[in-house]
Structure 1
Amino acid sequence: MGFIPDFGSLAFTLVAFFAALSIIVAIHEYGHYIVGRWSGIQADVFSIGMGPVLFSRMDRRGTRWQIAAFPVGGYVKFRGDANAASVGQADTPGLDAEASRSTMAGAPLWARAATVAAGPIFNFLLSIAVFALVLTIRGVASDPLTVADVQPLPYAEQELQVGDRIKAIMGEPVPDVAQFAGFVEGLPVQPTLPYRIERNGAEMQIEAPYPYPPVVGSITPQSAAAGTDLERGEVLIEVNGKEVFAFTQLRDAVGDSGGEPVTLTVWSPDTGDTRSVELTPKRMDLPLPEGGFETRWLLGITGALYITPERSAPSPVTALGYGVEQVGFIIQSSLSGIYHIAAGAISSCNLQGPIGIAQTSGAAASAGALSFVWFIAVLSTAVGFLNLFPIPILDGGHLVFHAYEAVRGKPPSDQALNLLMAVGLALLGTLMVFAIGNDFLCP
């Protein structure tokens, strides 16, 4: 794998990673804190970071808010907890019934369960809010599809103009934006197609390029194309010397490469010059919307429409629905990925460790603010999902203990808790070693 080449890049990557992690941890722990407070459980310490305390202050409720030296996590220590992991009960003799109620151990079962579950739930709420915000900022394409800008291309004369409404292509009515990508899949792949448009209230026929030409729309972090001099808006006009004018041709050529290097001829719309770029595709396992995975050879180049459509802000309901949909897709893909890795159907290299996550955070931050906050939302969903695993020491493990207590009428014994926590710590340690190994050994 490619490691950070210089100190400047390393510093930027670390800052981006720890900034993302601190935000996610702060939201997670605040979920525990605020729901615990609402439930009548007193928090003694709220810490962002671990280790020596750099800054702290005591609020009027008796909670010490602090920032610690190592930004690799955080915790809320509730009254009566033996430690920051809320495992065991400290020795607190002489508490009356009211004071005991304010401890984690003395609170009713519903309050403890709600407090534990709140951390992952707040991670999901953060993700939903961020996804909804990004969609609101980017906007949704107008319907009918209306031209706001046009991508320069080297092989087709431009006839579309800003403000044109695209009514039909190849005689087929253009569907709403949600179905447009599927509609394009059914079009013949050729340099230009007949378009029926509405311009200034009048309908006319024109010739215009294939809707999805081989344009560099974006570059995926840690992909074959990441770190190259390819820029957004450039056009790939040849693959291994063969002319291409549709993104599907590029995708098929790379997919058929078998992982062998491919030579791209790249045209720059700024200068009109062409140059060659050689890239070696990476084998990737991609989650499918209907479930499962598809293994393909990829360069990490995402395509874009030939036009930039007019956009408008979605309704709050649409934006929030989109956020919920994205969180659901990430969770479903994660569950499917775990199953397929365990079954040997896809590579275990799909599991990233802290080095890989840090590199992705640096690449996302380099791509701009929206890309970085999108990454934070994805990582926040992953953190919330991981914490719900029924592993002792994680929130999911605590919820299993609470479920046991609800059924049996009493919590597990201290001896059983200590044993299960040791097992949970060993499992997490093994998983971490495996993930870090992937960071070093996987291509």
Structure 2
Amino acid sequence: MDLIGFLPSFGNFFYTIAAFVVVLSVIVAVHEYGHYIVGRWSGIHADVFSIGFGPVLASRKDRRGTVWQIAAIPLGGYVKFAGDADAASGKDADALSTMNDSARRRTMHGAPLWARSATVAAGPLFNFIFSFFVFAALMMVQGVAVDEPIVGEITPLPAQPFELQQGDRILAVEGVETATLGDFLSAAETLPAQAELNYRVDRDGRVLQVTGPHPQPPLAGSVAMQSAAREARMQPGDVITAIDGTPIATFRELRELVADSAGGALELTVWRNGDVVDLTLVPRSTDLPLPDGGFETRYLIGLTSGAVFEYATQTPSVVDAATMAATQIWRVLRTSVEGLYYMVLGQISTCNLSSPIGIAEASAAMASDGVFELVWFIAILSVAIGFLNLFPIPPLDGGHLVFYAYEAVMRRPASDRAVRVLMAIGLSLVLTLFAFALFTDLTC
């Protein structure tokens, strides 16, 4: 056995697991803290707050009598409230029968309906609130592009040097007026497919004719997780100069050649920091959400176009950041609902489902891309997990809320027998979905 050759793989595996544990632990902690704190405010006592399942690795009891613990299996967590028989909030009938009214009020099963409903709903709600503040904070830290085509630091490209300089305000490219940054970017679709173009710029009050790069060269801005480009080890900043020996100068040409490949292997010539690298990629059939709803299936390699220069940015107002954060949450929720709907109809692939394996790979990919990308991914996943927990399936939070809705309408709780049967059926459905997602991650 080649132990030295095995070490890099082992290191990657450890890195993937570590990233997965960090990502999932943050989301689980937020979710379970929502249950815990709203339960506490509602007068329900928590016996155990656990991150993970199985053997306890570390624990501490606080002054309220709640045990805070970290367990060995990092696939979730739970809050065990007083009167619960297990982590799924099953009723401990024997313990409840020996309690007086005051003690029963401090249990999940003896609390008023409003307190139980608020405590259960708080988990997903806290996931959404957490993501909202993370999105808003990242937008304020990162800033948003100013809608003016003012040149920042120019990205290294193989065709440099250009006469375009940092600080120039672009007035036109090849005669196409660019009053806004949007005009400059949209011009990329109609400009000649050349690496070097003619610019008219305002430089310190003087109007000059200079040369500059195409607004959208075949430059990798980001590399999508679980994509052909990431599998081939492409990196942000890579410039694709040729495909199957055919030179290209624009991202538009790259997109068209990938779309026409029908999934066939492509031989790419890549310029990377002055060096030339040859890579082979196989475009993957991918289901993409459309702006107006629905999905479109296309062949992709997992690259987004990089910026030819840094755009001037400004810090958005609190209101603007909050609006953009809410819009991002709505986009994740809508895409999730539409994805499930079209998968059930068979119109898009079930390969869009992810098990812990897929989430672990994505976590490692985002962690390798940087802190900003990792935190953004955590916020997106927090929305998705909050949404998943609202499914009306026991033992998910949505299933408990269905029981409480029944109790509110019928003026009596569902029978213990019915709850046990439905919990067993729901658990079977959840495990089946888990197994199916695991199967798709292993086979897709």
What is aligned with 1:371?
373
Shift of 1:98: 3.1
Rounded to whole Å, the distance in 1 between the matches of 2:184 and 2:397 is: 42
Shift of 1:34: 0.7
What is aligned with 2:3?
none
Deviation per CA, 1:24-76, whole angstroms, max 9, x where unpaired?
11110000011111112111111111112222222122211112222221111
Query: In structure 2, which of residues 131, 151, 172 is the aligned counterpart of residue 147 of structure 1?
Result: 151
What is aligned with 1:195?
199
Query: In structure 2, which of residues 418, 439, 442 is the aligned counterpart of residue 440 of structure 1?
Result: 442
What is aligned with 1:335?
337
Matched, 1:105 2:109: yes
Cα 1:126–1:187 change in 2 (3 A) is: farther
Deviation per CA, 1:176-212, whole angstroms, max 9, x where unpaired?
5577655544555444444343221333343422211
State whether residues 169 and 202 of structure 2, in contact with CA within 8 Å, keep that contact through their aligned partners in structure 1: yes
State whether residues 177 and 183 of structure 2, in contact with CA within 8 Å, keep that contact through their aligned partners in structure 1: no
Matched, 1:303 2:305: yes
Rounded to whole Å, the distance in 2 between the matches of 1:312 and 1:363 is: 28
Query: In structure 1, which of residues 34, 46, 52 is the aligned counterpart of residue 37 of structure 2?
Result: 34
What is aligned with 2:388?
386
More off after superposition, 140-149 vs 343-352: 140-149
Matched, 1:222 2:219: no
Cα 1:329–1:211 change in 2 (3 A) is: same
Matched, 1:423 2:425: yes
Cα 1:183–1:118 change in 2 (3 A) is: farther
Matched, 1:86 2:89: yes
Cα 1:60–1:368 change in 2 (3 A) is: same
Matched, 1:264 2:232: no
Query: In structure 2, which of residues 284, 289, 292 is the aligned counterpart of residue 282 of structure 1?
Result: 284
Shift of 1:314: 2.2
What is aligned with 1:72?
75
Rounded to whole Å, the distance in 1 between the matches of 2:437 and 2:316 is: 39
Q: Provide the secondary structure at the position in 2 that maps to 1:212.
A: coil
State whether residues 89 and 105 of structure 1, in contact with CA within 8 Å, keep that contact through their aligned partners in structure 2: no
What is aligned with 1:136?
140
Shift of 1:374: 1.8
Deviation per CA, 1:361-395, whole angstroms, max 9, x where unpaired?
11211222222212211221111111011111000
Cα 1:258–1:97 change in 2 (3 A) is: same
Alignment TM-score, normalising by the size of structure 2:
0.92
Cα 1:196–1:39 change in 2 (3 A) is: farther
Rounded to whole Å, the distance in 1 between the matches of 2:440 and 2:404 is: 35
Cα 1:49–1:229 change in 2 (3 A) is: closer
Matched, 1:45 2:48: yes
Rounded to whole Å, the distance in 2 between the matches of 1:262 and 1:424 is: 45
Rounded to whole Å, the distance in 2 between the matches of 1:179 and 1:346 is: 34
Shift of 1:157: 5.3
Matched, 1:291 2:266: no
What is aligned with 2:178?
174
The one-letter code matched in structure 1 to 2:79 is V
State whether residues 241 and 269 of structure 2, in contact with CA within 8 Å, keep that contact through their aligned partners in structure 1: yes
Cα 1:388–1:229 change in 2 (3 A) is: closer
Cα 1:323–1:394 change in 2 (3 A) is: same
More off after superposition, 173-182 vs 119-128: 173-182
Q: For residues 106-121 of structure 1, what are the structure 2 equivalents within 5 Å?
A: 106-121=110-125
Matched, 1:55 2:58: yes
RMSD: 2.2
More off after superposition, 337-346 vs 209-218: 209-218
The one-letter code matched in structure 2 to 1:70 is I
State whether residues 234 and 266 of structure 1, in contact with CA within 8 Å, keep that contact through their aligned partners in structure 2: yes
Q: Which consecutive residues of structure 1, in runs of 5 or more, have no partner in the other structure?
A: none
Rounded to whole Å, the distance in 1 between the matches of 2:336 and 2:8 is: 31
Matched, 1:124 2:128: yes
State whether residues 175 and 183 of structure 1, in contact with CA within 8 Å, keep that contact through their aligned partners in structure 2: no
More off after superposition, 413-422 vs 145-154: 145-154
What is aligned with 2:239?
235
More off after superposition, 363-372 vs 314-323: 314-323
Q: Provide the secondary structure at the position in 1 that maps to 2:97.
A: coil
Q: Which consecutive residues of structure 2, in runs of 5 or more, have no partner in the other structure?
A: 1-6
Aligned length: 438
State whether residues 147 and 182 of structure 2, in contact with CA within 8 Å, keep that contact through their aligned partners in structure 1: no
Deviation per CA, 1:120-154, whole angstroms, max 9, x where unpaired?
11111222222223323322122323222112333
Rounded to whole Å, the distance in 2 between the matches of 1:31 and 1:177 is: 42
What is aligned with 1:346?
348
Query: In structure 2, which of residues 162, 165, 169 is the aligned counterpart of residue 165 of structure 1?
Result: 169
